[in-house]
């Protein structure tokens, strides 16, 4: 991996915390992600299943973790299964973990070859009753392709129909949603790399550059800084594309007088940053662009104050909706009288600000956790108000990543340029 080694105490603690949540006489099984086929004999770049990484630190495919804290055989209480390499694999695919390396990375002492999984797993299963299987329980996400936890979990249910089956997802979500100090450190690094890439772009972007050329500058900075790459498909949108929320074509030319909206985040040690910035292609905002930009920036600054223990994503979203509604009225886009008579289920401001303001962030850009979860110290969320006026070719989103603490919100992107004057100054240096 490109990132610097992580102290395995992180993964040990994660496993200990998970184990504490298991009732007596339980076994939990976690599968690594599939290698996703692309075409012909090619795979997409490998990315580990986030829960699997959280509990092991292992980024290798075809791996299984089994946690069975109460079984008599001591060396089967925590087992990691990995592929046994051979000369062919070594020549064609490269190095795979040895037992020692897997031990070192994960802190798990009992490593086995995956070829022995069926035999050893049966031994574990016949001395336990409650089985915990993992699923991707992300709401409103229905992929056609079933992942390994889904497929192999179903196989376990079929092979051992008389056991009791339970969901690991609620337990692991409860843990992942609150970040440890070490995780926050990794996330800060992802944010800093993202900031460096943005500063690089400020001195690069100008009329005539293609969006993908700007993207190349960002990717260059990421890789030079030991990031895995992008935490999600980056949005580099100029002109009217600033109003397309999930624009990722990134193939247009940046034109004089237009805005350029970025939404990108480095993934460092599998932790993602998530940042949005909007800049004038020619280095100088027009007065209307300034007016709109200032409205969004004001809301961002006010909204950040809501990131305190006890609040929820739902609270932040509805408060920010009100702030944006007020700004949208001030910008002359909707009228106070019309707002008074509007359909409450379909408020007028939604024409110009149609997405939520906050989501959890961590190993996944849209990380685990629900909109009703009360904020607690250690949680990291995004704050991302936006304003989209297609008829004026103006789309603006500003997004920073905020750490909840006991006392006050900590903006992990505080030092990344955002004020109009500093952006103009850096672009014209
Ligand atoms: N980059 C995805 C988001 O902002 O939610
Ligand atoms: Mn976001
Ligand atoms: Mn974003």
Closest C-alpha among 171, 74, 63 to residue 127: 74
> Which residues, in sequence order, are CB contacts of 70 under 8 Å at separation 6+?
24, 25, 26, 77, 128
Whole-model pTM: value is: 0.97
Which atom in ligand 1 lies closest to the alpha carbon of residue 359? Answer: 5
pLDDT at 93: 86
Q: Compute the distance from residue 367 Cα to the ligand 2 centre, in Å.
A: 10
Q: What is the mean pLDDT of residues 92-103?
A: 94
Q: Is 34 a catalytic residue?
A: no
Which atom in ligand 1 lies closest to the alpha carbon of residue 355? Answer: 5
Helix (H) or strand (E) holding 230: strand 229-230
Q: Is 277 a catalytic residue?
A: no
Q: What is the mean pLDDT of residues 212-216?
A: 98
What CA–CA distance (Å, rounded) separates 418 from 328? Answer: 20
Q: What is the mean pLDDT of residues 91-107?
A: 95
Q: Which residue, judged by its Cα, is nearest atom 4 of ligand 1? A: 274
Instruction: Map residue 28 onto helix, strand or coil.
Output: strand
DSSP per-residue string spanning 169-193: HHHHHHHHTS--HHHHHHHHHHHHH
pLDDT-above-90 percentage for the chain: 98
Mean per-residue pLDDT of the chain: 97
Closest C-alpha among 366, 311, 11, 379 to residue 174: 379
Domain ranges within the chain, ordered by starting residue: 9-176, 181-427
Q: Compute the distance from residue 264 Cα to the ligand 3 centre, in Å.
A: 6
Q: Is 263 a catalytic residue?
A: yes
Q: Compute the distance from residue 307 Cα to the ligand 1 centre, in Å.
A: 18
Residue pair 63/80 in contact (Cβ under 8 Å)? The answer is yes
Closest C-alpha among 126, 99, 122, 124 to residue 110: 99
Helix (H) or strand (E) holding 409: none
What CA–CA distance (Å, rounded) separates 178 from 161? Answer: 35
Q: What is the mean pLDDT of residues 54-61?
A: 98
Q: What is the mean pLDDT of residues 327-345?
A: 97
What CA–CA distance (Å, rounded) separates 167 from 137? Answer: 10
The region of weakest confidence among 80-84, 88-92, 273-277, 315-319 is 88-92
Q: Which of 51, 78, 211, 263 is catalytic?
A: 263
What CA–CA distance (Å, rounded) separates 425 from 265? Answer: 23
The topology (CATH level 3) of 181-427 is Creatine Amidinohydrolase (3.90.230)
Residue 353 banded pLDDT, cuts 50, 70, 90: very high
Q: What is the CATH number of domain 9-176?
A: 3.40.350.10
């Amino acid at each position: 991996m490109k990132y610097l080694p992580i102290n395995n105490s992180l993964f040990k603690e994660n496993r200990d915390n998970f184990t504490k949540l298991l009732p007596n006489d339980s076994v939990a099984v976690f599968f690594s992600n599939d290698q996703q086929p692309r075409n012909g004999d090619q795979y997409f770049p490998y990315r580990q299943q986030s829960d699997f990484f959280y509990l092991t630190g292992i980024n290798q495919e075809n791996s299984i973790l089994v946690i069975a804290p109460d079984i008599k055989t001591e060396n089967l209480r925590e087992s990691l299964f990995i592929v046994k390499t051979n000369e062919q694999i070594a020549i064609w695919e490269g190095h795979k973990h040895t037992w020692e390396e897997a031990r070192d990375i994960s802190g798990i002492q009992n490593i086995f070859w995956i070829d022995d999984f069926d035999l050893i797993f049966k031994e574990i299963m016949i001395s336990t009753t409650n089985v915990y299987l993992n699923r991707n329980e992300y709401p409103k996400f229905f992929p056609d392709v079933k992942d390994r936890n889904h497929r192999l979990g179903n196989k376990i249910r079929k092979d051992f129909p008389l056991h009791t089956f339970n969901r690991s997802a609620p337990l692991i979500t409860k843990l992942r949603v609150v970040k440890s100090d070490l995780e926050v450190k990794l996330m800060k690094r992802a944010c800093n790399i993202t900031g460096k890439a943005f500063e690089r772009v400020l001195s690069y972007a100008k009329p005539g550059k293609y969006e993908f050329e700007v993207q190349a500058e960002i990717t260059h900075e990421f890789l030079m800084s030991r990031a895995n790459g992008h935490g999600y498909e980056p949005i580099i949108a100029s002109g009217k594309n600033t109003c397309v929320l999930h624009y990722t074509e990134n193939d247009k030319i940046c034109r004089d007088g237009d805005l350029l909206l970025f939404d990108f985040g480095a993934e460092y040690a599998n932790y993602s940053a998530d940042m949005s910035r909007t800049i004038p292609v020619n280095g100088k905002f027009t007065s209307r662009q300034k007016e709109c930009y200032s409205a969004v920036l004001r809301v961002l600054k006010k909204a950040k104050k809501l990131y305190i223990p006890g609040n929820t994503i739902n609270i932040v979203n509805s408060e920010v909706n009100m702030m944006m509604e007020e700004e949208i009225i001030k910008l002359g886009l909707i009228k106070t009288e019309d707002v008074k008579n509007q359909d409450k289920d379909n408020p007028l401001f939604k024409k110009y600000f149609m997405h939520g303001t906050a989501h959890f962030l961590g190993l996944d850009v849209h990380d685990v956790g629900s909109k009703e979860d009360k904020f607690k110290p250690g949680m990291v969320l995004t704050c991302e108000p936006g304003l989209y006026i297609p008829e004026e070719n103006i789309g603006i989103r500003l997004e920073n990543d905020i750490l909840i603490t006991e006392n006050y919100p900590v903006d992990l992107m505080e030092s990344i340029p955002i004020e109009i004057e500093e952006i103009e100054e850096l672009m014209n240096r």
